A = this chain, B = another copy of it.
Amino acid sequence: MATNLFDYAYDLEKALRNSNEFIHLKMMYTEVENDEIAKSMFDAFRNIQMNLQQKQMEGRDITETEIMEAQEIANQVQGNEKVTRLMEAEQQLSMSINELNKIIMKPLDELYGFINQ
C-alpha cells in the first residue's frame, strides 16, 4: 500500500480524536468510570449484551431467564442518567463512524454495484 493511503488514515484518526463527539464521549465515559454505581451497572449491561451477542453468533438458544435478566439490567440502566448519557454519546459516535465508513467504502460499493443508503 502506498504510504500516502496510510497518511490520509492518520489524518482522519487525528480529526476523529479531536472531534466534538469523541471528546464528549470521553467525558461521559469518565463520569461513569468515577461513579461506582454507574460503573457497575454499565459493566453488567455490557457483559450481558456481549454474552447474548456471542450466543446468537454461535446459533445457541437464549433462555427466558437470560432475556429477563437483560431486561432487568436494561431497566436499571435507563434510570441512571450518567449511563444513559454515555450510551447516547456512544450511539452518536457510532452513527458518525458509520457515515465515515460509507464515504470511505464508496469505491468498493461502486465496483461491486452495491447500494447502501
- By a beta-carbon cutoff of 8 Å, the part of chain A in contact with chain B is 1-2, 4-6, 8-13, 15-17, 19-22, 25-26, 29, 56-60, 93, 96-97, 99-100, 103-108, 111
The 27 listed contacts between A and B (C-beta, < 8 Å) are: A1-B19, A1-B21, A4-B15, A4-B19, A5-B12, A5-B16, A5-B96, A5-B100, A6-B99, A6-B100, A8-B11, A8-B12, A9-B99, A9-B103, A10-B103, A11-B11, A11-B12, A12-B104, A13-B104, A13-B106, A16-B104, A17-B106, A22-B107, A22-B108, A25-B111, A26-B111, A57-B57
Contact A103 B13 (CB under 8 A): yes
Distance between Cα atoms of A15 and B106 in the complex (Å): 12
Chief secondary structure at chain A's binding surface: helix
A1: chain B residues within 8 A (beta carbon): 19-21, 96, 99
